[in-house]
Amino acid sequence: MWIDDWAAAAACQQSQPDQLFVRGAEQHKAKTVCAGCPVRTECLAEALDNEIEWGVWGGMTERERRALLKRRPNVTSWRQLLETAKGEHEQRYAVNG
């Protein structure tokens, strides 16, 4: 299920915002905040669709997001793509549980 008001449910709500806007090796530590986040996919879609250049979003650094955008330049809606993939994953998991 896709959550439109995802920011309220984000795991990073419990941390300081500055922890997600770091450089270098500190980014790997920041990504751990996203690891178990229930709205990680929604957050990532937001960052990709809006080409957000700074910080860790959805478990990806700005460098990782730029590389993904370059690899998939024809994606017009990351939300649509990721929402569909998330729904298919959840459906498969529910069936194969």
- pLDDT-based confidence at 97, cuts 50/70/90? low
Residues 6 or more apart whose CB falls under 8 angstroms from that of 20 comprise 12, 30, 33, 55, 56, 57
CA 44 and chain centroid, separation: 2
pLDDT in tens, 33-78: 999 899 999 999 999 999 999 999 999 999 999 999 999 999 999 9
- On whether 12 is known to bind a ligand per the annotation, the reply is yes
Residues 6 or more apart whose CB falls under 8 angstroms from that of 9 comprise 3, 38, 39
* Contact yes or no for 68/49 (Cβ under 8 A): no
6: pLDDT strictly greater than 80: yes
- On whether 43 is known to bind a ligand per the annotation, the reply is yes
pTM for the full predicted model: 0.86
